[in-house]
């Protein structure tokens, strides 16, 4: 039983999700202690429970101590297998964060996996659904990972109720990413969606984002208005991305009650502009989520990061608890050159 300190480093839910995924893939039993110990509400929330149970279903794991608010539990994995799975967070907890745990294990199954997830699709403190679709998945596709996503319904805080279906074919091997230069920015694209809200909100987000990005020649941001048949509750998000000659960068912001639309659009645009200006080859949010895949790739990878975040550092520490991994992070000219070297 390998003990993992859930309060290490950033010490949040990502550590829990990544730990159970690694346990399932390596077959190593784990005991997680001090889960989210420094958070205002320590212990497991609903989306953490769903993520752990989802990974457990893929590997027939035995779990003890798993309950809402739990600060420790044990996870003994069995063998990974494919199939059809249905997971419901039961709240507005993010289905995208559940996928952070499930996808690596699903790719390792060696068989097709079909997932149906219910919960929040675009909620605060989690990647919006369109960031997952238009930023993270294209980067994973470069590694040889194919994912098909079908959006059945959007869901927001506090009701949740969004539904997505995700299908993954078997994967033979993971290719490394050698992203050592940004390349010229060709154009900036984006999607703004609002659900059951006045139309001017999306347009105000777009105008604010375009104003921040006016120094770039080609910027195209689409607006989508969703009704009751397409979304439960009120909400929205803006997701922006740019494809360069060598890579793809993204940024996102989720609508919040009481926060002006102009601020939502401006924050996402400023974040993308900062990534481009820095010369990064992967944005700071994608870098955290890519690390587990890069650690399993057939060769060394390199990323250029605007910021070597505490999330990334914590994830690298955790990966080395399970895998014979080397990494090197060197700061040069305002960027961190991060080399991931599987052994």
Predicted confidence (pLDDT) at residue 74 exceeds the cutoff of 90: yes
Q: What is the DSSP secondary-structure string of 212-259?
A: HTTTSS-EEEEEEEE-TTTEESSEEEEEEEEEESS-EEEEEEE--TTS
CA-nearest of 59, 58, 100 to 76 is: 59
User: How many Å apart are CA 342 and CA 19, to the nearest integer?
Assistant: 18
Predicted confidence (pLDDT) at residue 214 exceeds the cutoff of 90: yes
- The pLDDT, as a whole number, for residue 189 is 98
- The pLDDT, as a whole number, for residue 208 is 98
Mean pLDDT over 140-163 rounds to 96
Q: Is 50 in contact with 43 (CB distance < 8 Å)? A: no
Assign 337 to helix, strand or coil: strand
Percent of the chain at pLDDT above 90? 96
Mean pLDDT taken over the chain: 96
Residue 311 a catalytic site member: yes
> Interior CA angle at 115 toward 112 and 229, to 5°?
140
How would you label 281-293 residue by residue, b for 16+ Cβ within 10 Å and e otherwise? bbbbbbbbbbbbb
* 49: CB partners within 8 A, 6+ apart: 66, 67, 68
**pLDDT, tens digit (0-9, with 9 covering 90-100), for 231-274:** 999 999 999 999 998 999 999 999 999 999 999 999 999 999 99
Q: Is 141 in contact with 111 (CB distance < 8 Å)? A: no
What are the C-alpha distances in Å from 286 to residues 184, 215, 261? 20, 24, 24
Percent of the chain at pLDDT above 70? 100
Mean pLDDT over 152-170 rounds to 96
Superfamily of domain 185-278: RNA 3'-terminal phosphate cyclase, insert domain (3.30.360.20)
Predicted confidence (pLDDT) at residue 75 exceeds the cutoff of 90: yes
How would you label 150-181 residue by residue, b for 16+ Cβ within 10 Å and e otherwise? eeebbbbbeebbbbbebbbeebeebebbebee
- The pLDDT, as a whole number, for residue 343 is 86
Mean pLDDT over 37-59 rounds to 95
The DSSP H or E segment spanning 263 is: helix 261-278
Architecture of domain 2-178+282-342: Alpha-beta prism (3.65)
Q: What is the DSSP secondary-structure string of 9-76?
A: TT-SHHHHHHHHHHHHHH---EEEESTTTTSSS-S--HHHHHHHHHHHHHHT-EEES--TT-S-EEEE
**pLDDT, tens digit (0-9, with 9 covering 90-100), for 48-58:** 999 999 999 99
Mean pLDDT over 5-20 rounds to 95
Assign 193 to helix, strand or coil: strand
At 36, list the tokens: 């989210």
**Cβ-based burial of 148 (10 A; exposed 0-12, middle 13-18, buried ≥19):** exposed
Give the pTM.
Answer: 0.96
- The pLDDT, as a whole number, for residue 277 is 95
**Active-site pick, 48, 193, 285, 311:** 311
Q: Helices 95-107 and 284-294 meet at what angle, rounded to 10?
A: 30
Predicted confidence (pLDDT) at residue 145 exceeds the cutoff of 90: yes
At 25, list the tokens: 């893939």
Predicted confidence (pLDDT) at residue 172 exceeds the cutoff of 90: no
> Interior CA angle at 165 toward 163 and 114, to 5°?
140
Domain locations in the chain as residue ranges: 2-178+282-342, 185-278
């Amino acid at each position: 039983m390998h003990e993992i300190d859930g309060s290490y480093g950033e010490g949040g839910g990502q550590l829990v999700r990544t730990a159970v995924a690694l346990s399932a893939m390596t077959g190593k039993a784990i005991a997680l202690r001090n889960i989210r110990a420094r958070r205002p509400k320590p212990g497991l929330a609903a989306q953490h429970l769903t993520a752990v149970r989802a990974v457990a279903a893929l590997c027939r794991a035995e779990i003890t101590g798993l309950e809402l608010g739990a600060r420790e539990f044990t996870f003994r994995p069995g063998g990974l297998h494919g199939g059809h799975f249905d997971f419901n967070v039961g709240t507005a907890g993010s289905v995208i964060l559940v996928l952070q745990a499930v996808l690596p294990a699903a790719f390792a199954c060696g068989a097709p996996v079909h997932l149906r997830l219910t919960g929040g699709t675009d909620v605060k403190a989690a990647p919006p659904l369109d960031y997952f679709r238009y930023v993270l998945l294209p980067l994973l596709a470069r590694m040889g990972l194919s994912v098909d996503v079908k959006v059945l319904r959007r869901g927001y805080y506090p009701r949740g109720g969004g539904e997505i279906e995700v299908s993954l074919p078997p994967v033979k091997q993971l290719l490394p990413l050698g992203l050592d230069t940004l390349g010229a920015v060709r154009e900036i694209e984006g999607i703004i969606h609002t659900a059951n809200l006045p139309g001017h909100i999306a347009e105000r987000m777009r105008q604010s984002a375009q104003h921040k990005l006016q120094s770039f020649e080609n910027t195209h941001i689409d607006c989508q208005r969703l009704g009751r048949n397409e979304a439960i509750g009120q909400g929205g998000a803006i997701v922006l991305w740019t494809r360069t000659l060598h890579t793809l960068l993204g940024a996102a912001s989720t609508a919040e009650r009481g926060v002006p639309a102009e601020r939502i659009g401006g924050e996402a645009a400023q974040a993308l502009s900062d990534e481009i200006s820095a010369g990064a080859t992967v944005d700071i949010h994608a870098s955290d989520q890519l690390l587990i895949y890069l650690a399993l790739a057939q060769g060394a990878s390199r990323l250029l990061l605007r910021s070597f975040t505490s999330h990334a550092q914590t994830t690298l520490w955790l990966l080395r608890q399970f895998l014979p991994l080397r990494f090197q992070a060197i700061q040069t000219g305002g960027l961190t050159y991060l080399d991931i070297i599987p052994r």
